[in-house]
């Protein structure tokens, strides 16, 4: 069996009241549409056909090569949307899934089950239904006295009795492709809204004596469509709970799962501990035994084993094993802290390497620098890396000792084992094993080199 997947995402999402297209609103750190696209890929192992319309270019720019696109210029209804996608499907597949871009909580297992039932029952259409206490906004599933599905009626077209029905059309279908292709052009516009409704096909199939199967979903959360920002917040909570529960079952301690936010592409090792009010986004990886939080924010960083991150912000950085940072450390893009680095309160590191065992305890800024091993960076040290035009580099060699409140005016190099006095303004290179101090700092005396 060849399986294709069409995702409908041409609608405007008026009720979001936003200049951002609905399907680009994020759930955790990822645009809603990418959940549907990832799920599709996990079921079919190939990019889905995405029907785009409103803000099509914007959606395409975000989804990129993860999907194929068809443009539905005018949103004439779900039946019309599937019809415009058929040229991408008819030669390639005999069965096609149809889902929506605004249902991020749908699980791959549920779609696999739908396809399996479709094959097992030899149905022409297999659909998901959902039983809800509040049926508002959904099409109602019509069954005959024997329980066979005979059609779906949209809320606007439903009679008062039909409106009482609690089994609803989830809007997720599996179709036989040749039958679908032949019948899409036969859908008539709805008498009230003039739209071409996809569920019209259910009545047509039944009238031809074909089998239509509806499977009620077990977890009703899966088919929650996002229409408003209230739904968006609900879906975010559900996704947060799913992700956090999966990590807890995999051996991660999350002290307060309500306030821990972990993105869908984060990877955590066993015995990671996450304290309250901590957010871990992007493609961050965290090694075994590392503790993060409380109140920390980590974005797309690589973090080693037994690291301690306390009240800190870490963005696009690398922390090797046994690094300790915080409280109130800020690692910016390109910060790389080697094994055992200690960075205390109110420090900032950007685009710099700090070698193994280096210590930077208090109130320092290190930018565009290469710092060797076992360097001591005194309180208040600053690399003056920007001269107003260019970013310049600072090099501090192994075992150097930078006195408190030293200004390193880049480009500048502090040699191995050199020392600066408190309050120095370093404007010239300091040779190895030399003490320099003053404003501007000048070499004052040679230091003893360690005998090895
Ligand atoms: C649809 C179903 C309804 C079902 C409900 C479940 C129809 C006619 N009705 O109603 O039976 O209970 O889903 O959520 O199918 N879209 C396009 N192009 C269009 C129209 C829609 O791409 O021309 C996309 C929208 O972006 C949206 C999805 O299809 O993601 C659903 O469309 P919408 O108009 O919201 O249908 P519902 O009223 O939710
Ligand atoms: Ca909808």
Any domain includes 233: no
Q: Mutate which of 78, 83, 153, 187 to test ligand 1's pocket (most atoms within 8 Å of Cβ)? A: 78
Q: What is the pLDDT of residues 310-362, one digit of tens each?
A: 999 999 999 999 999 999 999 999 999 999 999 999 999 999 999 999 999 99
Asked if the model's pLDDT at residue 192 lies above 90, the reply is no
Q: Is 362 a catalytic residue?
A: yes
Tell me if 232 is assigned to some domain.
no
**CA 375 from centre of chain:** 37
Contact criterion met (CB below 8 Å) for 34 and 44: no
CA 436 – CA 338 distance, rounded (Å): 27
Mean pLDDT (the chain) is: 97
Name the domain boundary from 165, 194, 223.
223
Share of the chain above pLDDT 90, in %: 97
Domain count, the chain: 2
pLDDT at 191 over 90: no
Verify whether ligand 1 is closer than 6 Å to residue 173 (CB atom).
no
Asked whether residue 272 falls in the same domain as residue 200, the answer is no
The end-to-end CA distance of the chain, in Å, is: 72
Tokens of 321: 């094993």
The stretch 145-154 carries a mean pLDDT of: 95
Q: Are residues 217 and 299 part of one domain?
A: no
Smallest CA-to-CA distance from 405 within 380, 442, 437 is with: 380
- List, for residues 26-71, the tens digit of each pLDDT value: 999 999 999 999 999 999 999 999 999 999 999 999 999 999 999 9
Running DSSP on this structure, what letter comes out for residue 259? Answer: G
Q: Of the candidates 192, 223, 254, which is a domain's last residue?
A: 223
What was the pLDDT predicted at 217? 97
Question: What pLDDT, on a 0 to 100 scale, did the predictor assign at position 223?
Answer: 94
Q: How far is the CA of 50 from the centre of ligand 1 (A)?
A: 14
Same domain, 303 and 421: yes
Q: What is the pLDDT of residue 33?
A: 98
- Do the strands 412-414 and 394-396 form a parallel or antiparallel pair, or are they unpaired? parallel
How far is ligand 1, taken at its centre, from the CA of residue 166, in Å? Answer: 18
271, 376: one domain: yes
Same domain, 217 and 342: no
pLDDT at 148: 94
pLDDT band at 366; cut points 50, 70, 90: very high
Query: How many Å apart are CA 405 and CA 332, to the nearest integer?
Result: 22
Is the pLDDT at 452 greater than 80, yes or no? no
Q: Which domain holds residue 257?
A: 239-446
Give residue 134's pLDDT. 92
Q: Measured between alpha carbons, how far is 274 from 267 in angstroms, rounded to an integer?
A: 13
Domain contains 39: yes
- Ligand 1 center to residue 210 CA distance, Å? 24
Q: Are residues 174 and 257 in the same domain?
A: no
Cα separation of 172 and 116, whole Å? 14
Distance CA(49)–CA(325), nearest Å, equals: 45
- Atom index in ligand 1 nearest the CA of residue 51 equals 22
Contact of 127 with 140, CB cutoff 8 Å: no
pTM: 0.94
- Tens digit of each residue's pLDDT (9 = 90 or more) over 401-441: 999 999 999 999 999 999 999 999 999 999 999 999 999 99
Looking at the CA of 193, name the nearest ligand.
1
Q: pLDDT category, 164, cuts 50, 70, 90?
A: very high
């Amino acid at each position: 069996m060849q399986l294709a997947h069409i995702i409908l995402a041409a609608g405007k999402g008026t009720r979001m009241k936003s200049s951002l297209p609905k399907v680009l609103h994020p759930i955790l750190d990822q645009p809603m549409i990418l959940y549907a696209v990832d799920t599709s890929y996990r079921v079919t192992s190939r990019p889905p056909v995405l029907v785009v319309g409103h803000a099509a270019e914007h959606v395409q720019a975000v989804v990129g090569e993860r999907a194929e696109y068809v443009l539905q210029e005018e949103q004439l209804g779900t039946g019309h949307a599937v019809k415009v996608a058929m040229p991408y499907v008819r030669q390639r597949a005999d069965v096609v899934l149809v889902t929506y871009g605004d249902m991020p909580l749908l699980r791959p297992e549920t779609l696999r089950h739908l396809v399996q039932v479709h094959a097992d029952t030899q149905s022409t259409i297999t659909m998901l239904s959902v039983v809800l206490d509040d049926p508002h906004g959904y099409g109602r599933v019509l069954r005959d006295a024997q329980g066979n599905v005979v059609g779906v009626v949209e809320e606007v077209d439903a009679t008062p009795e039909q409106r009482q029905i609690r089994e609803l059309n989830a809007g997720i279908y599996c179709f036989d492709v040749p039958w679908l292709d032949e019948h899409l052009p036969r859908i008539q516009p709805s008498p009230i809204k003039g739209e071409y409704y996809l569920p019209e096909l259910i009545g047509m199939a039944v009238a031809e004596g074909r089998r239509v199967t509806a499977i009620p979903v077990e977890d009703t959360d899966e088919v929650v469509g996002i229409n408003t920002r209230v739904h968006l917040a609900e879906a975010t909570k559900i996704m947060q709970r799913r992700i956090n529960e999966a990590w807890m079952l995999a051996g991660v301690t999350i002290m307060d799962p309500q306030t821990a936010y972990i993105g869908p592409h984060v990877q955590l090792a066993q015995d990671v501990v996450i304290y309250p009010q901590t957010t871990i986004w992007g493609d961050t990886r965290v090694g075994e035994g590392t503790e993060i939080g409380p109140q920390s924010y980590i974005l797309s960083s690589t973090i080693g084993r037994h690291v301690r991150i306390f009240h800190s912000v870490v963005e696009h950085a690398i922390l090797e094993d046994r690094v300790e940072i915080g409280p109130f450390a800020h690692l910016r893009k390109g910060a790389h802290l080697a094994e055992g680095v200690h960075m205390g309160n109110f420090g900032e590191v950007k685009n710099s390497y700090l070698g193994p065992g280096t210590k930077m305890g208090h109130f320092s800024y290190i930018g565009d620098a290469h710092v060797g091993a076992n360097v001591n960076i005194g309180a208040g040290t600053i690399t003056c890396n920007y001269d107003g035009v260019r970013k310049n580099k600072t090099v501090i060699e192994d075992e150097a000792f930078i006195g408190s409140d030293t200004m390193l005016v880049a480009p500048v190099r502090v040699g191995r084992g050199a020392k600066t006095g408190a309050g120095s303004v370093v404007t010239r290179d300091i040779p190895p094993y030399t003490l320099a101090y003053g404003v501007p700092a000048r070499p004052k005396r040679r230091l003893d080199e360690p005998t090895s």
